[in-house]
Structure 1
Amino acid sequence: MFKLIKLATAGALLAAFVIAPALVKPADAKVVINERTKYYSVTGRNGKALFRSIKRRGPKHRMTGHAIATTTTSIKVRDMKFGIRGRNCVVENVNVFVDITYKYPRWRDRRRANADVRKAWDAFEVRVKKHEETHGRISREYARGLEKKLKTLFGRKSRGCKDFGKFSERRLKQAYVAFQKRQYNFDRREGSARSRIRRLQAALQEAR
């Protein structure tokens, strides 16, 4: 389940340009990615008990109440440097920082459950992690694309660079909308009754 907690807006990114456009030497832009994993405890010796525990203790989510697992992404843009190149106002350098946090259930009663429940849990857990890691990959790809896109934005020197903001706002908004759509479409596909993760979830719920 995808959660976006922070994404820099185009307006915030471009404010510095209005204040102090300056000629700078190109530098090496970079995308810095930090990933970490958290867990919450669940209990139960059969599938139904496990899902009752997940429903009580799982991470809160505005759409589902409590999710089984989540991927929380924060994307921040820093160290933007602007300059004049020929007739254009351009972004000379920018760094994108991405924080991705995965949160998964950790089963405390594994040793007390029978083999069928353990087997069903293991298969479900592998698929849940694959699902969340796909959200992480989408976020990483977006961050790398954002860094490249920011460096293609420009305004006209002849207009005092005043057209920079409007042009950039439109381009960045398009990229952000596409990113959100990709994340939510993935969740929707995975949430369909025929998806593998739903079949594994159903198998675990019936395990006893």
Structure 2
Amino acid sequence: MQFPINRAALSVVRRARAKLANTLCFVTYVMLVLGLVASAEATPVDAPPTENPDGYVLNEHVNYYLVTGDDGSALRRSLDSQGPIGVDGKRYDGYTRWDVHWDYVTESDASSTCAVVSSNIVLNVEITLPQWQPAIDVPDSLQRRWLVYLKALRGHEDGHLENAEMAAMAIDHLLQTIGPQSDCQILDEKLQTLGQQILQHFRDNDVEYDQRTEHGRTQGAVFP
């Protein structure tokens, strides 16, 4: 029996795989530049694996702010005055904040080299979106337009969420692949340095994404 191929779903999977591959390539490249990838000879065969099977824990929270109005212009004014304020001090219709927290345990072996033996990664994401309760006499056409806009706005913010998840995966990849160092202090310093560089890379991705999509306008997040 042949099953129909969902080409849209297949395309999404392929894009996700490509993004993950690019993320891992980026992390590996930075590690190579900083000399953090240990050679095969330097890694003990019996070194314990990193105990982090889930990769990271995602804490996602969606906040809503109320907007009012019985026509498109009034709703637009409400969005402009009530929308969340970004790090640049400007108001936006929607906004996504995220941060990655990680900790790990290191141990020294008989040869005095220090390695990561377990890790814990938590990704906190807060998405802020508008909420409108239309009056009974509001035209159906305006309500439909609002729903289309809101779906597009959420789609744009999901792009920021996806970028945050890639950042968490990159940190996880770092902790699981970094080689042993001569002592634990050196390992700590290198992990902190590289971890911050990874986070900055994905924060820059957020900025580029907003510039490219005009904060969601090119994705349909335009109202009225």
Q: TM-score range by the shorter chain?
A: 0.7 to 0.9
1:114 correspondence with 2:139? yes
Moved over 6 A (4+): none
Checking the alignment, whether the CA contact within 8 Å between 2:67 and 2:79 is kept in structure 1 is yes
TM-score (norm 2): 0.68
User: Where does residue 31 of structure 2 map in the other structure?
Assistant: none
What amino acid sits opposite 2:195 in the alignment? L
Q: Gaps spanning 5+ residues in structure 1: where?
A: 1-23
1:148 correspondence with 2:173? yes
Query: How far did residue 110 of structure 1 move?
Result: 5.2
1:105 correspondence with 2:161? no
Checking the alignment, whether the CA contact within 8 Å between 1:71 and 1:135 is kept in structure 2 is yes
Q: Gaps spanning 5+ residues in structure 2: where?
A: 1-46
Checking the alignment, whether the CA contact within 8 Å between 2:113 and 2:180 is kept in structure 1 is yes
1:127 correspondence with 2:146? no
CA RMSD between the two structures: 2.6
TM-score (norm 1): 0.73
How many residues are paired up?
Answer: 175
User: Where does residue 218 of structure 2 map in the other structure?
Assistant: 195
Checking the alignment, whether the CA contact within 8 Å between 1:155 and 1:167 is kept in structure 2 is no
Aligned residue runs from structure 1 range 7-156, under 5 A:
26=49, 28-29=51-52, 30=54, 31-63=56-88, 65-78=90-103, 80-84=104-108, 88-109=113-134, 111-154=136-179, 156=181
What amino acid sits opposite 2:154 in the alignment? K
Query: How far did residue 131 of structure 1 move?
Result: 0.7
Distance 2:127 2:120 in 1: 23
SS of match in other structure, 2:115: strand
What amino acid sits opposite 1:176 in the alignment? L
Structure having the higher strand fraction is 1
The structure-2 alpha-carbon separation of the partners of 1:172 and 1:62, relative to structure 1 and needing over 3 Å to count, comes to: closer
Distance 1:139 1:117 in 2: 33
Question: Between the two proteins, what is the percent identity of the paired residues?
Answer: 20
Distance 1:82 1:55 in 2: 49
